[in-house]
């Protein structure tokens, strides 16, 4: 270990940043391992990273602690942690000398139970589900006249939705309601925005969009007031909040859930190029259409003629059968004749007269 030395400026000792960081890191490394309790937030894990990073948050006062853990050890625990869960982390503090970043180096993790927020959300979810708020699912309009977009100011989600809508369907008319999408003022502000859009007479569908964020960032979208507003909206709502793995309660209350804001745009408007291609195909079919109709009718007539001809008496005679008449009436049973009666016999080719010599029942 390199010796930590200070430079002497008169009667003042001055440490370089590297020396100071090294001294603090060395001192921290001698502290004992401890257990720390907190709620997991901002969990970040990527395959190419050697470590997993997350933040432990104290639910009582919001104090936060950055934590890292070797990815192999984290994966071996198979905890499948999600943001909001409470854990006990075992490890020691450390300082990353190059950047002066302080963090807690976790050596082991144990699930302590659901975090306060997560447990509250589960209770609310059960309550709203029992009321049937998540059951109504209305189809989206095929060609919406006007689309409402509730999103944050200058948000990437807003840009993604608008770009995708105008690219797919340039005639689309979009009304953007910019509002808070994070923090304590977000839920009531979003409720007001939805209500304002619903007051527009020709509003056909509303997209609620927000990009990804931490568990706390997305909490407004599980607020009971907002969830009820989404479920009770007079027009269909598409919820595009967070990433694929995030499931705020607005996703359950909305008529359609989109995994990303861009996907939401593809759900609410058709693709103009596809519509144009289908229209051209339809026009082409109409230009062959009269001749095709005549041919189809001719085929149906020929089929009917063939079936009728097969049922005609003449066709029966041609197969070797005969028609017997007595006094102009068709003989259907031997009992209709007596010995000595004259009969006319019609064949498939011609006919002849005959006298009845005997009858057999």
Residue found under tokens 């498939």: 348
Q: Report helix, strand or coil for 340.
A: coil
* Angle (CA) 283 289 290, round 5°: 135
pLDDT, position 219: 85
Q: Which residues, in sequence order, are bridge partners of residue 110? A: 88
CA dist., res. 15 & res. 4, Å (int) = 8
Exposure string for 319-333, b = 16+ CB within 10 A, e = fewer: eeeebbeeeeeebee
CA dist., res. 176 & res. 174, Å (int) = 6
- The 10 Å Cβ neighbour count of residue 308 is 10
CA dist., res. 141 & res. 68, Å (int) = 47
Cβ–Cβ under 8 Å, residues 78 and 117:
no
What length is written for the chain?
361
Cβ–Cβ under 8 Å, residues 67 and 104:
yes
pLDDT, position 327: 84
pLDDT in tens, the chain (361 residues): 456 777 888 888 898 888 888 888 989 888 899 999 999 999 998 888 999 999 999 888 889 999 999 999 998 888 878 788 888 999 999 998 888 889 999 999 888 755 566 777 888 999 999 999 999 899 999 888 899 999 998 678 888 898 888 888 888 899 999 999 988 889 999 999 999 999 998 999 999 999 877 777 888 999 999 999 999 999 999 999 987 777 899 999 999 999 888 899 899 998 878 877 877 777 766 667 677 777 888 888 887 767 666 666 666 666 677 888 888 788 888 888 888 889 888 887 888 888 888 888 7
pLDDT, position 308: 65
pLDDT, position 317: 64
pLDDT, position 113: 59
């Amino acid at each position: 270990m390199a010796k930590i030395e200070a430079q002497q400026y008169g009667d003042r000792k001055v440490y370089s940043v590297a020396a100071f960081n090294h001294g603090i890191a060395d001192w921290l490394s001698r502290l004992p391992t401890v257990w720390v309790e907190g709620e997991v937030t901002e969990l970040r894990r990527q395959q190419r990273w050697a470590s997993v990073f997350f933040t432990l948050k104290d639910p009582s006062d919001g104090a936060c602690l950055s934590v890292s853990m070797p990815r192999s050890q984290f994966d071996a625990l198979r905890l499948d942690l999600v943001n909001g869960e409470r854990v006990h982390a075992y490890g020691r503090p450390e300082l990353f000398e190059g950047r002066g970043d302080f963090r807690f180096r976790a050596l082991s993790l144990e699930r302590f139970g659901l975090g306060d927020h997560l447990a509250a959300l589960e209770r609310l979810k059960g309550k709203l589900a029992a009321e049937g708020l998540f059951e109504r699912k209305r189809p989206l309009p095929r060609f919406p006249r006007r689309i409402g977009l509730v999103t944050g100011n200058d948000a990437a989600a807003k840009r993604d939705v608008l770009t995708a809508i105008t690219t797919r369907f340039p005639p689309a008319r979009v009304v953007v309601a910019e509002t808070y999408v994070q923090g304590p003022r977000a839920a009531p502000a979003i409720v007001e925005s939805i209500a304002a859009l619903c007051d527009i007479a020709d509003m056909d569908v509303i997209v609620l969009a927000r990009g990804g964020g931490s568990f706390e960032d997305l909490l407004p979208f599980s607020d009971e007031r907002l969830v009820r507003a989404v479920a009770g909206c007079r027009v269909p709502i598409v919820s595009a909040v967070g990433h694929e793995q995030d499931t705020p309660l607005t996703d359950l209350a909305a008529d359609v859930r989109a995994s990303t804001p861009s996907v939401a745009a593809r759900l609410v408007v058709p693709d103009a190029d596809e519509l144009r291609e289908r229209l051209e195909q339809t026009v082409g079919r109409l230009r062959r259409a009269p001749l095709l109709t005549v041919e189809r009718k001719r085929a149906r007539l020929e089929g009917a003629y063939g079936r009728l001809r097969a049922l005609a008496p003449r066709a029966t005679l041609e197969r070797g059968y005969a028609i017997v008449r007595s006094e102009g009436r068709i003989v259907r049973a031997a009992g209709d004749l007596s010995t000595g009666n004259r009969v006319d016999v019609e064949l498939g080719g011609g006919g002849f007269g005959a006298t009845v010599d005997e009858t057999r029942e």
